[in-house]
Structure 1
Amino acid sequence: MRRLLPSVGLLGQVVAILLLTMVIEFGVSTLMYERASEFSVRDDEARRLAEHLVISRRLLEERAPVQRPAMAAELTTDRYEVHWDGIADLPLALDPALDATRQQIVDWEPSLRTGDLRLRLISPGRSSKLRGALRLRDGSWLHFRTLAAVAKLDFAVERIVLALVPAIALMVLGGLMIRRTLLPLRRLAAAADRVGRDPVGSVPEDGPGEVRRVVAAFNRMQQRIGALIDARTQALAAVGHDLRTPLARLRLRTEAIDSRETRQAIGNDVSEMEAMIASLLAFLGGDADPESPTSIDLAVMCATLVDDAQDRGREATYEGPDHFELRVRRLAVKRALTNLVDNALHYGDRVTVALVPGDGEVTVCVRDDGPGIPEAELAHVLEPFVRLDPARGRNTVGFGLGLPIVVQAIEAEAGRLTLRNRSAGGLEACVTLPITRYVAPRNTT
């Protein structure tokens, strides 16, 4: 059943199973009923035909031959047509398909056994009407023909459908009850989907006993995960503080070194270590980020990043509206865009930051003119601690967490990060965010 219904939920599968079993049960019951009804109807028709033949034979035998045609006409009814003849135009061989009908007739009227009763179907294969002949005592023949079709097997699809109407109504009612029973599971699935993105409280423990046990286990697991995250965050904060303190002392002590080259080399090493610690804390401490979404001007933020790059003597430009406000976590989004701009400046000589409003979303694209990334590595480079120095031809600083930090921050805003190589050369990194609140550009005149 799981292979037949791979994409149907538990409620749909339960209803489908119940409906299938009810359809099979109704079908089998109706078939058996129709078979029993068929035999009952055939037996009733055989009894009526037997009685009519006995009466007709007796009346015809009591009449003179010249009176028999008129008597046969009087014996004709809406169900049976009767006429008299001196010969039988039916072969002696019996039709095997009518052996059961003939046996039923003679069982009802044993006197007909001696009358050489012969039966045939009119137009076999297309009609179920009978014609036959019964020999009288003087050797003449009583011919008869049924005017109504002989009963045959009928699956009565209409009756099955009518019988299924209350069953379907009961299935709908049962489905609603099952849906109510599965409500705790839906709440559990929604809570599990929010873990790692949004704060999740304890899921109410209700429903059947098995479901309550699953929900209780989830709540306990969530508490353990929260405790582990809190402990990790505290440890990271302590380690970050303990590492920054000796690094600060080391930076101060480098000022006493007479050699300018040595002093600069040690300062570069200290800066690299500080950058590595900052990136590690930003990536591993993201789950416990207490920052709440606020309204920011994304266009101003992008323009400010471009101005900072220009202040450092780099070639950078901004393309987009002067103002574009939306509600996000300001520090996390700024950190993500800063990583993208720094990455572009590290591997290229020129960088362009473009803000493009769209239908229900806004996209910020950071383009550089560097060597780009091999197509096979575009997805791999988003993984933590992955560095592609040989592919991009420059030494990098940090643990390879720049892009993973971007992915983490943007996914927290229900957005996405996409990378692609530009046809003109270089890499384009695009951040797409849903628009939760847009404010039209301010009038600066």
Structure 2
Amino acid sequence: MKPFGFFHLKGIGGQIAALVLASTVALHLVVTAAFLISRPDRPDTPPDGAHQLTDAALLLGSTEASERPRLVADLSRAFPKLGIEMHAPGTAAIVETSDSQHLRGMRRHLGRGYKVVQLAADDTAHRVGVELPDGSVIAGRVDGGPRPWFWGAPWLTALMTTFICVTVLGLWAARALAAPLSSFAEAAENFSLDGEADPLPERGPEEIRSVARALNRMHERIARLMSDRTRMLAAISHDLRTPITRLRLRAEFIEDEVNRKRMLIDLDQMRSMLESVLSLLRNDRNVEAVTLVDIASTLQLIADQFGDMGHVVHYDGPASATAAARPDDLHRGVTNLVENAVRYGAEVTIRLDISGTRLVIDVEDDGPGISDARKQEMLEPFARGDDARTMDESTGFGLGLSIAHAIAIAHGGTLSLHDRTPHGLIVRMELPVWQEPRLAA
């Protein structure tokens, strides 16, 4: 680790440290400006309008009593907002003679011989009176009046500035950290192997960009690994088809009828196994688009197809039900479920139910069913059923349910197994009517 690398401005630590430093400097600048403006080290300065009243009191105090009415009239015209009035000794409505900060500031400017008192307030402002040395009182309105002790104090300004700086720091940290992490969670939720997902944006602090680059590279490696695996399986399948075909042709010349049939059954099973595995691990780049599909018509068609093959398959549901899906994938998934059902049961029912924004497809059979302990296990690839349902060991490879499960997840739905009364199995596929489908990993 480089010395002082923590304070690198491209990293989260450096940006937070820079913001804290900038907030501290701004705090000190605001406190200094407030100190220079208020100057608490100087004598108390009278509030707005009070210095005019003190000057008028000093002027009237040094004027003869006969000249005061004329001088008061001149001061009233000069300072109309002050509302100067002259009261004879003992006629002023004095409220208090407190020693508040407001009145103390005026006394400092008046000096000895003058007395500052608080008068009854009018509707617009506080009234303050100055008692002259001869007992007369000059009264005037002082805007603002005595303020609370905490208002305008430098410590309050510092507190507000600190609050603002901490708020800015918190908002920045929430945006700089929560937004990329939310995008990571969304990317993980929408992870797919079809190459259509946009890479994570590499923005923000250096640590966030580094994580985004690592996740993008991991996505590329996984996609490349899955693509190589699929190509390898496709090549193996292609290479095995030829020898299987040759073996089938040679098996036709076997004179022993029993051995010839066994050989042909084994070869058909090998070919079916290859096709099933390739269906489960198909190339994600060739995934079909999502379109509007009449689910009811698709299920009715599947029931008719199995009916033509001699199976008893019924459809129970509405005549029409439209949803967004991949038609071929949905057809293959339900077909796999019905194939399992007719293999172990004599009668199969395909039910369709739409409730709100979800549709439910139930494939019911009257076979032996599956124990509760193995229901979840049966959704895994190559998982075989209970002995009661494994009627023929030469058929089935444990891929039908796993393929249907992957198709349900790709549509944003679920696949689950349930018991049927009095016996049998219900395979339930729940799909959203409108969704943004995902690919099953």
Structure 1 length-normalised TM:
0.58
Tell me, in whole angstroms, the C-alpha distance in 1 between the residues paired with 2:419 and 2:392. 20
Matched, 1:267 2:264: yes
Mapped contact 1:280–1:399 kept (Cα < 8 A): no
Match of 1:404 among 394, 402, 405: 402
1:429 CA drift (Å): 0.4
Question: Which residue of structure 2 aligns with residue 203 of structure 1?
Answer: 200
Q: Identity of counterpart residues, as a percentage?
A: 39
Matched residue SS, 2:387: helix
Tell me, in whole angstroms, the C-alpha distance in 2 between the residues paired with 1:400 and 1:359. 33
Matched, 1:379 2:376: yes
Question: Which residue of structure 2 aligns with residue 233 of structure 1?
Answer: 230
Matched, 1:301 2:298: yes
The 1:247–1:424 alpha-carbon spacing in structure 2 relative to 1, beyond 3 Å, is same
1:165 CA drift (Å): 8.4
Mapped contact 1:197–1:412 kept (Cα < 8 A): no
Amino acid at match of 1:222: H
Match of 1:366 among 350, 363, 367: 363
Question: Which residue of structure 2 aligns with residue 41 of structure 1?
Answer: none
Would you say how many aligned residue pairs link Structure 1 and Structure 2? 282
Question: Which residue of structure 2 aligns with residue 136 of structure 1?
Answer: none
Amino acid at match of 1:181: A
Question: Which residue of structure 2 aligns with residue 157 of structure 1?
Answer: none
Question: Which residue of structure 2 aligns with residue 76 of structure 1?
Answer: none
Mapped contact 1:374–1:391 kept (Cα < 8 A): no
The 1:165–1:235 alpha-carbon spacing in structure 2 relative to 1, beyond 3 Å, is same
Tell me, in whole angstroms, the C-alpha distance in 1 between the residues paired with 2:184 and 2:270. 43
Unaligned runs of 5+ in 2: 1-15, 21-157, 436-441
Match of 1:322 among 299, 319, 323: 319
Question: Which residue of structure 2 aligns with residue 190 of structure 1?
Answer: 186
Question: Which residue of structure 1 aligns with residue 101 of structure 2?
Answer: none
Question: Which residue of structure 1 aligns with residue 411 of structure 2?
Answer: 413
Mapped contact 1:236–1:285 kept (Cα < 8 A): no
Question: Which residue of structure 2 aligns with residue 250 of structure 1?
Answer: 247
Mapped contact 1:296–1:326 kept (Cα < 8 A): yes
Amino acid at match of 1:296: V
Question: Which residue of structure 2 aligns with residue 180 of structure 1?
Answer: 175
1:295 CA drift (Å): 2.4
Give the aligned CA root-mean-square deviation in angstroms: 3.0
Unaligned runs of 5+ in 1: 1-13, 19-162, 438-445
Matched residue SS, 1:364: strand
Match of 1:282 among 268, 279, 283: 279
Mapped contact 1:316–1:350 kept (Cα < 8 A): yes
Matched residue SS, 1:390: coil
The 1:216–1:268 alpha-carbon spacing in structure 2 relative to 1, beyond 3 Å, is same
Amino acid at match of 1:399: F
Amino acid at match of 1:196: S
1:229 CA drift (Å): 1.4
Question: Which residue of structure 2 aligns with residue 68 of structure 1?
Answer: none
> Whose helix proportion is higher, 1 or 2?
1
Alignment of 1:63-212 (within 5 A): 172-182=167-177, 183-196=179-192, 199-212=196-209
Question: Which residue of structure 1 aligns with residue 432 of structure 2?
Answer: 434
Question: Which residue of structure 2 aligns with residue 139 of structure 1?
Answer: none
Question: Which residue of structure 1 aligns with residue 133 of structure 2?
Answer: none
Mapped contact 1:327–1:436 kept (Cα < 8 A): yes
Q: Deviations over 1:113-135 (max 9, x none)?
A: xxxxxxxxxxxxxxxxxxxxxxx
Amino acid at match of 2:297: V
Mapped contact 2:193–2:223 kept (Cα < 8 A): no
The 1:208–1:322 alpha-carbon spacing in structure 2 relative to 1, beyond 3 Å, is same
Matched residue SS, 2:348: strand
Structure 2 length-normalised TM:
0.58
Matched residue SS, 2:329: helix
